[in-house]
Structure 1
Amino acid sequence: MKLFSATTCTALTAALLTAAPVLAQNTALDAQIAKLAAQQEAKVIAWRRDLHEHPELGNQEIRTAALVAEHLKKLGIEVQTGVARTGVVGILKGGKPGPVVALRADMDALPVTESNSLPFASKARTTYNGQEVGVMHACGHDTHVAMLLGAAEVLSQVKKDLPGTVKFIFQPAEEGSLPGVVGGARLMVQEGALDKPKVDAIFGVHIQAQTEVGQLSYRPGGEMASSDVFNIKVKGKSAHGAYPWLAVDPVVTAAQIILGLQTIVSRQTELTEDAAVLTVGMVHGGVRNNIIPEQVELTGTIRCLNKDMQQKIWAAVRRTATNIAESAGATAEVDIVNYAPVTYNDPHLTEQMVPSLNRAAGTTNVRVQKAVTGAEDFAYFQEKVPGLFVFVGGMPKGKNPADTAPHHTPGFFVDESGLTLGVKTLATLAADYLSAGKK
């Protein structure tokens, strides 16, 4: 056992006494935040239901943005609109100088026709990619907006105790823009959402329909996969279907490429390092049963959890498609576009903020989860500043996750009793980060 000298003990005692008032102040502030968050429950649920009934697709969130801006202004928060087309940024200055922390919520819905019989179920319709479809908050972005509005309400009531600035980022088009159109978090970063004042750290939450209400989950490092879209144009030679020897058949060649692509993950990727997914989601070609077309187009997604594996898979897709096409006398043009990088929770920031998660939800309700192959463009913010992305439970207690509708489906459902925890988590993370000072 190592003994401390009298001088060292005196210094340690003095340090603990100096730190004690700060710790007490943080505990008191967290308790106040928890109380205020609980008081906001009815208001947060009302916002969520209104947004759910009036969903808007990416870059079209005009009504949603107006609702957000109006409420932030009522709270005395400085508001900037029209960021990344329909995004809203609010700035709340605390009563003392300090760092700048950002909280983010995404606002867009999906082209999904809702099947739930809720009184506030979406009846909205639109035309998407040439097809008439319903519009639905089938991934819970309505809850994200409502929770962040609740957090803004809470933090505005304790701003005199905040040593620093909170920036509220309401982001459009997380689910992606139309092909060739930059949007979402990437465009918000390009247009300075993390600047003036410069953000030191950013936090975000996502509702999780397969996790019980009252629970939080996170993962240090790579938490969600990168998302890439690949497009392969297989070009051959057209002919009558009765005379295939006169053609270079892109249909057969495309089929061989699809099978070849499956070996990239199953035989060429070291899956003991990280998971990876390669899926062909669309095949387009031909107009008639007895005509061999000139071209077939394949489109799909690639998901990876680290950049090295991502680059290896990109190279393998190009190699596989072009070489199989060449062996058939055809050609293959391969285009790969990155939609979102890996959602990477900064390990130091995560370690620093885990006690805040424990205080918000209770230690037994916070867990480290496995990485998932879904993607989130929150990753673009994390490329610029340290960030932490946390999942908030939205499944009714006692329900089996296998019996719940997944995200992005018509029956997607959220238990609204879990929203208060999201409000408390966002506000606690912001307040505790500011109180700790810039690391």
Structure 2
Amino acid sequence: MITKAQIFIFAFLFTFCSINAQKIDPAVNKMAEEIESKVIEWRRDFHQNPELSNREVETAKKIAKHLKDLGLDVTENVAKTGVIGILKGDKKGKTVALRADIDALPVTEIADVPFKSTVKTTFLNTEVGVSHACGHDTHTAILMGVAEILSKHKDKISGTVKFIFQPAEEGPPPGEEGGAKLMIKEGVLKNPDVNAIFGLHINSGTEVGKIRYKPGGTMAAVERFVINVKGKQTHGSAPWSGTDPIVISAKIIDGLQTIISREAPLVDEAAVITVGKITSGVRFNIIPGTAEMIGTVRTLDPKMRALIIRRMKEMVPSIAKTYGGSATIDFQNNTSITYNDHDLVKKMLPTLQGIAGKDNVILSKATTGGEDFSYFQEVVPGFYFFLGGKTPGVENAPSHHTPEFFIDEKGLLLGVKVMSQLAIDYLNMQ
């Protein structure tokens, strides 16, 4: 006689083995390969016609038209220029979201490609070029391909797929709202309620055919801080008759680094405090009355993040007071920690391995770059990973956000396959 406990164990082992044997559906694989050239064509079009954050008007129109042509329920102008597409499967179930960011950067492209961007605009009162120097054009094209595949295979979908084309990942212009935070505020994860979300980022330093991932903190929380130091102006020949805000600034910078070197538990996760700009004074022989410092904090652990911000707020005014001045510090949160849900990663890792090959799915260290996909992950479980975009054999590939940035388009096909299968497998597991 088989007991209930034995039945439970058998069921668990069957489910476990099934999950760990995930392979790409032959029909999905075939269609992905059939539309690869179309995905590349879309990518090149977006690449030649880049638009900055909250200004992705034409990009959004192209996305919306494609989704409507596929028969999806489409909502436009979400968080200014975002587009949402909803695809209901033939079978009932939960809802999974797939996200792509669509904005470009104020970077003048010099990469030697036939579809090079020549677009120019004015950004913060400066004439600049505009280019997809971070690869968001590939993300958009990949997700359009996924939408086409899944729309033709609704019989494989147990639930609903929500396609999120997000503007302003690089941050909205000063004085504007935007990005993932505004999308959430406008209800993008509701109606229907999203149960999990997946996203990818092309990576110019990872070879085509490979995927990098990390459970837990995978990209950093990003804080921008501004420190205003007040001293007393005086002649440079008689510093004792005033209070030097530049010296105070130097002491503050030195003190902040001790938070990292002496207080933050770096064996848990990495953390960084950087002062990137100091503004003070007008003349070589005048000690100014004020100084301003602007910088960033990067953290991968919520407790460490709280510790560092608390200690900075305590330390800055205290150091300034010690040297006879005063100082204030203000923080602006740019992204939260891109935190991959451990259970979701464990559940979906076999899908990645089944498609890319186990040896090509690489457990990696975290990066101190930031990503506003993190805001989605604060609301629902999420899994964010990196897709290879470097030509094999190339060394020292140009990094993201640079004029030389280059992506090998052979990497897009794997992105289409993986995102399609993640949606199917996740919903079928529920």
Establish whether TM, by shorter chain, passes 0.5. yes
Q: Render the CA deviation track for 1:106-152: whole Å, top value 9, x for unaligned.
A: 11111111121211111122222232222121111111101111111
Q: Distance in 2 between matches of 1:16 and 1:306?
A: 33
* Equivalent residue, structure 1, for 2:403: 410
Of the three residues 98, 105, 111, the one matched with 1:110 is 105
Residue matched to 1:122: 117
State the Cα distance separating 1:34 from its structure 2 match: 1.4
Counterpart Cα distance in 1 of 2:292 and 2:261: 23
1:210 aligned partner, one-letter code: G
Match of 1:78 among 65, 68, 73: 73
- Aligned counterpart in structure 2 of residue 171 of structure 1, from 157, 162, 166: 166
Partner of 1:219: 214
1:256-308 superposed Cα distances (whole Å, 9 cap, x missing partner) = 22222222212222211111011111112223333332221111110111111
2:262 aligns to what?
267
Q: What's the offset of the Cα at 1:19?
A: 7.7
Matched ranges for 1:23-172 at <5 A: 30-172=25-167
Counterpart residue identity of residue 255, structure 1: A
Quick one: distance in 2 between partners of 1:299 and 1:178? 18
- Is this contact kept in 1: 2:23–2:355, CA < 8 A? no
Residue matched to 2:286: 291
Query: 1:362 is matched by which residue type in structure 2?
Result: G
CA distance in 1, matches of 2:259, 2:125: 33
Q: Cα RMSD between the aligned structures? A: 2.4
Change (3 A) 1:242 1:72: same
Distance 1:343 1:15, change over 3 A: closer
Residue 295 of structure 2 corresponds to which residue in structure 1?
Answer: 300
**How far apart, CA to CA, are the structure 2 residues paired with 1:232 and 1:17?**
57
- For residues 14 and 311 of structure 1, what CA distance do their matches in structure 2 show? 45
Query: 1:238: Cα distance to partner?
Result: 2.2
Q: Distance in 1 between matches of 2:12 and 2:312?
A: 58
Change (3 A) 1:318 1:7: closer
* Alignment equivalent of 1:348, drawn from 343, 350, 355: 343
The answer (yes or no) to whether the contact 2:213–2:384 under 8 Å persists in 1 is yes
Alignment of 1:193-272 (within 5 A): 193-272=188-267
Distance 1:182 1:77 in 2: 27
Matches of 1:404 and 1:51, distance apart in 2 = 22
3-state SS in 2 of match to 1:273: coil
Q: Which moved more, 1:411-420 or 1:353-362?
A: 353-362
In the alignment, the residues of structure 2 paired with residue 377 and residue 66 of structure 1 have an alpha-carbon distance, to the nearest angstrom, of: 23
- Could you tell me how far 1:311 is from its partner in structure 2? 1.1
Contact 1:34 1:360 in 2 (8 A): no
Matched, 1:389 2:400: no
Code of the residue aligned with 1:195 in structure 2: it is K
- Structure-1 separation of matches of 2:205 and 2:42: 22
1:344-381 CA distances to partner (integer Å, 9 max, x unpaired)? Answer: 11111111111111122111211211111111110111
Q: Distance in 1 between matches of 2:193 and 2:215?
A: 24
Partner of 1:432: 425
Q: Identity rate of aligned residues, in percent?
A: 51
1:167-212 deviations in Å (ceiling 9; x for gaps) = 0000111111234533211111110000011111100010011110
* 1:222 and 1:371 in contact (8 A); partners too: yes
Match of 2:394 in 1: 399
Kindly provide the amino acid, as one letter, of the partner of residue 118 in structure 2.
K
Match of 1:190 in 2: 185
Give the Cα separation in 2 of the matches to 1:356 and 1:19: 14
Partner SS for 1:329: coil
Determine helix, strand or coil for the equivalent of 2:25: helix
Are 2:275 and 1:280 equivalent residues in the alignment? yes
Please identify, of 7-16 and 161-170, the stretch whose mean Cα deviation from structure 2 is larger: 7-16
Q: Secondary structure at the match of 2:144?
A: helix
Give the TM-score normalised by the residue count of structure 2: 0.94
Cα contact 2:54–2:173 (8 A) shared by 1: no
Cα distance, 1:53 vs. partner? 1.2
Sort the Cα spacing of 1:97 and 1:233 in 2 relative to 1 into closer, same or farther, 3 A: same
C-alpha distance in 1, partners of 2:233/2:15? 78
Q: Output the CA distance in 2 between the equivalents of 1:246 and 1:130.
A: 39
Aligned counterparts of 2:72 and 2:54: Cα–Cα separation in 1: 23
Cα pair 2:23 2:351 within 8 Å, conserved = no
In 2, the alpha carbon distance for the partners of 1:83 and 1:16 equals: 41
Match of 1:361 in 2: 356
Task: Tell which deviates more after alignment, 293-302 or 233-242.
Answer: 233-242
Counterpart of 2:369 in 1: which secondary structure?
Answer: coil
2:97, 2:347 → 1: CA distance?
16
Q: Give, in whole Å, the separation in 2 of the partners of 1:80 and 1:366.
A: 34
Q: Deviations over 1:310-364 (max 9, x none)?
A: 1111122222221221122111110012111111111111111111111221112
Matched residues in 2 for 1:14 and 1:262: separation? 55
Partners of 2:11 and 2:317 lie apart in 1 by: 66
Q: Quick one: structure 1 residues 17 and 241, their matched pair in 2 at CA, closer, same or farther if it must change by over 3 Å?
A: closer
Unpaired runs of 5+ in structure 1? none
Residues 29, 76 of structure 1: CA spacing in aligned structure 2 closer, same or farther, 3 A cutoff?
A: farther
